[in-house]
Amino acid sequence: MTIQVGDRLPDAPLVKVTGDGPDQIDTAGYFAGRRVALFSVPGAFTPTCSARHLPGFVEKADAIRAKGIDEIACTAVNDAFVMQAWGEATGVGDKVTMLADGNGAFAKAVGLELDGSKFGLGSRGQRYAMVVNDGVVEALHVEEGGEFRVSSAEHLLETL
């Protein structure tokens, strides 16, 4: 079942990419006591994700934080080393935290998996943006297949 506004995020492993390398985190602790804008992309280094989705959040990071967001995080079903390399290649700096969902456990736990096997991608996470307030989903914007609109930084900023 897909997670809904008002639901608490399920506990699922993610790996936070840091300057010192991968750091295993638990969702309960990571999202506790703060308001996080979390967006998901089908894959690091893929066209829309690299050209528009991630750069939009980097560009709008200060404006999003000014609306009461404590942290902006990007997740994808990629390993931590790919997420780290993608963050470095796109210059995210400290504007966006890169969270690896290497086995897709988080995507599955929130019911937002994507079957990308016809494109050679296997099981991935859908493209979406959500606001999580103290572990509870405050807003959720899931894209229809192949679209990029409601999960953009611009759309999220308009809805905050």
Topology given in CATH for the domain delimited by 13-159: Glutaredoxin (3.40.30)
Which residue ranges make up each domain of the chain?
A: 13-159
This prediction has a pTM of: 0.93
> Mean of the pLDDT values across residues 23-27?
92
Active site residues: 49
pLDDT in tens, 78-135: 999 999 999 999 999 999 999 999 999 999 999 998 766 777 676 778 899 999 999 9
Residue 57 in contact with residue 39, Cβ under 8 Å?
A: yes
